[in-house]
């Protein structure tokens, strides 16, 4: 829902509300805090009279906007999507630079791909290909900016429209369910959990969330 300038609010706590700005043609002008918009409005009247604003999530600092999403084509922004999905992917065709990238089961993957459901095209499109160590921070920054939910999907499992903390719990439950001997403590080893191919995704998301909790 679009709002005019007088309706914009600021969260007076650790988090700042973000507002995505659009001109009358629908062109995306950027994402700003209320303080930044007030500064612009003092210089250009259009920021009060003609620019439209949409709630775009929350952030702690500039790092969320600094995130470079390597899958977005020119002219597309993270705000063009109404939801996001993370999947394990591998390359078919023999090399990392050739062939196709396809969704696979965890353990067969070389990357984690983030897809977004495009508002206008009504289809899933690639947003970012992430290495294992960065996937949690990428997802957290996307949620910081957009406030959207994230789902997980591989070839055999899917968890639809979840908050990131809930996804951490769902992944932990699946890991537990798939560890042989988990229900028999005498044969269970803690490092079996860490060796599960989904553990890297779970830990990466959990680490990113811990950073935001302070």
Host domain of residue 120: 70-213
Q: Are residues 142 and 37 in the same domain?
A: no
- Interior angle at CA 146, CA 72 and CA 159, nearest 5: 85
Q: Are residues 94 and 191 in the same domain?
A: yes
145 or 208, which is more confident: 208
Other CB atoms within a 10 A radius of the CB of residue 111 amount to 18
Confidence band of 188 (pLDDT split at 50, 70, 90) = low
The rounded distance, in Å, linking the Cα atoms of 155 and 174 is: 14
Instruction: Determine the average pLDDT of the residues in 18-46.
Output: 85
Question: Of 147, 189, 180, nearest to 164 (Cα)?
Answer: 147
pLDDT tens, 44-68?
888 888 888 888 877 655 555 556 7
pLDDT tens, 90-115?
987 655 555 688 999 999 999 999 99
Instruction: Determine the average pLDDT of the residues in 136-163.
Output: 91
Q: Which two tokens stand for residue 102?
A: 């396809």
Q: Are residues 175 and 192 in the same domain?
A: yes
Confidence band of 19 (pLDDT split at 50, 70, 90) = confident
Give the count of domains, the chain.
2
Helix-, strand-, coil-residue percentages of the chain, each rounded to 5: 35, 30, 35
Q: Are residues 200 and 170 in the same domain?
A: yes
Q: Are residues 74 and 57 in the same domain?
A: no
Largest Cα–Cα separation, the chain: 71
pLDDT tens, 64-92?
555 679 999 888 888 889 999 999 999 87
The pLDDT value recorded for residue 117 is: 95
Q: Are residues 16 and 100 in the same domain?
A: no
Q: Which two tokens stand for residue 24?
A: 């009358």
Confidence band of 30 (pLDDT split at 50, 70, 90) = confident
């Amino acid at each position: 829902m679009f709002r005019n300038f007088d309706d914009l609010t600021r969260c007076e706590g650790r988090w700042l509300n973000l507002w995505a700005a659009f001109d009358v043609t629908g062109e995306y002008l950027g994402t700003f805090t209320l303080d930044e918009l007030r500064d612009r409005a003092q210089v250009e009247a259009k920021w009060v009279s003609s620019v439209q604003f949409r709630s775009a999530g929350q952030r702690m600092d500039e790092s969320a906007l600094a995130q470079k999403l390597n899958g977005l084509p020119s002219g597309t922004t993270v705000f063009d999507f109404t939801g996001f999905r993370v999947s394990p992917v591998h390359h078919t065709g023999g090399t990392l630079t050739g062939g196709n990238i396809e969704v696979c089961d965890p353990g067969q993957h070389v990357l984690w791909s983030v897809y977004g459901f495009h508002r206008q095209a009504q289809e899933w499109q690639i947003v970012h290909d992430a290495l294992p160590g960065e996937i949690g921070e990428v997802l957290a920054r996307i949620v910081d900016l957009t406030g959207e939910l994230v789902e997980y999907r591989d070839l055999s499992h899917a968890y639809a429209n979840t908050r990131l903390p809930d996804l951490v719990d769902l992944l932990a439950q699946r890991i537990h369910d798939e560890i042989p001997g988990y229900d028999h403590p005498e044969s269970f080893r803690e490092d079996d959990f860490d060796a599960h191919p989904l553990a890297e995704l779970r830990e990466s998301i959990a680490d990113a969330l811990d950073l935001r909790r302070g």
